[in-house]
Chains A and B, each alone.
Chain A
């Protein structure tokens, strides 16, 4: 009796905790509301199954616990019941999988008008790079990295010269513009993680990974590292500031380009060799 009640209380308590929990996802700041919706669908379906199974079990314990003279039924199988349960489960699984795959398709399909920006991780800080006036980012290579060139840009790539390099500052983004976030690491795995954006992806040395999203509200958001990267993993922080277009422009005008930073303003003259070595993303 007590056992049945406690089991039921566990089920009821879990549901109540879920409903009244003060710990819930952060208010979303990107276009990935569909991800939250998929989580909600999954919560509804799995929650119903959880409650049904545990409550049924509690009832069984209450109704069929041992009493003097009770004898269990002899009940090897019930083909029909098992088939119905299988079909029901398959439908439930499908109801979660289908929206999941649809949203994943959106997640991996980058819109053509997305602006490319770059986030680079290293132990244990973040650097950012935005395309310059030409709207393109220059190529880079880990082997170029030195104290003058912390991001390892190719010096002879003209596209790289006007790139905006933010070495130890915050990333600013304009609201409402889709961005494709290119992710690079120079040493170990990192993961560019802003809880409010929902999207995240590992940064892998030796390749360029990416995700895309559109910021939908202004504000300042914490950047954390979500892939264990060594002793100071927990301290690897930065901020992303989403602004109105005008404020963003004002900020951008104050940033230094790669050429300015490396003191090679002269390099802007006609060294038009198209492209340099580009690290190929590894498709495995």
Chain B
């Protein structure tokens, strides 16, 4: 359970940092009056959708951290046989990085009021994300052709399960991205899509980060890293 506890500690730090600015030690019964006297303690000025995305990322992060915790606990059992990571995953990783870069590009374009750039960025990002998903399915196919079925070993099951969970999150993102692109296509103003583009970019970066962590886990790098940490501590 160390992965999820680490994740919770990070969340606790963020929440604690935010609460620390909210004057939780104030004596509210002495502070009658308008809010103007206590700047920064009112409602957040950020758009609701952006805060909502932030909270959602915490939930999704918790989900993946729990998968990782379960992975580590299950992995120490005797019957665990790590499976070879298909080369294709490296290509897929590259494609996902491209996808993230394209959306960042669109996001910068949106800030600079450059609609052409936004369109190119959104389309490139969407296309490469779809390519990534196709690549993941191909990787599954390669594995099952090579005899690594879902049920033959828990390592295989975790591989399919975690890549599927990540893929489903990406597909959810594609729905949002598709709606934004459609809006742009139908000639929406920049002000109407700027926020959506930004949120898509943030979500894409998050999923890229999750993917890199999962990749590290599945290739066994994370193990080596954890081992080194352990040795340093001992």
Please give the residue numbers on chain A whose beta carbons come within 8 Å of chain B beta carbons, in ascending order: 76-77, 280, 282, 284
Contacts and interface: CB of A to CB of B under 8 A. Distances in A.
A123 B99 CA distance: 54
A50 to B, nearest CB: 31
A282 B29 contact: no
Contact of A76 (B27, B73, B77, B78): B27
**Interface SS, A side:** loop
B27 A282 contact: no
A280 B76 CA distance: 11
Contact of A284 (B27, B29, B73, B78): B73
Contacts of B78: 280
B220 to A, nearest CB: 20
7 contacts: A76-B27, A76-B29, A77-B27, A280-B78, A282-B77, A284-B73, A284-B76
A77 B76 CA distance: 52
A280 B77 CA distance: 9
Interface string B66-106: 00000001001110000000000000000000000000000
A282 B27 CA distance: 52
Contacts of B77: 282
Interface in B23-66: 27, 29
- Give 7 closest A-B pairs by Cβ, nearest first: A76-B29, A284-B73, A280-B78, A282-B77, A76-B27, A284-B76, A77-B27
A229 B27 CA distance: 54
A154 B76 CA distance: 24
Nearest to B78: A280
Nearest to B77: A282
B32 to A, nearest CB: 12
Nearest to B30: A76
A76 B26 CA distance: 12
A53 B162 CA distance: 51
A76 B31 CA distance: 13
Nearest to B72: A284
Nearest to A77: B27
A77 B78 CA distance: 58
Nearest to A279: B78
Contacts of A280: 78
Contacts of A76: 27, 29
Contacts of B76: 284
A282 B79 CA distance: 13
A280 B73 CA distance: 15
Nearest to A284: B73
Contacts of A284: 73, 76
A76 B32 CA distance: 14
Nearest to A75: B29
Interface in B115-161: none
A69 B77 CA distance: 72
A102 B78 CA distance: 34
A246 to B, nearest CB: 44
A76 B78 CA distance: 60
Nearest to A206: B77
A131 B29 CA distance: 72
A284 B74 CA distance: 10
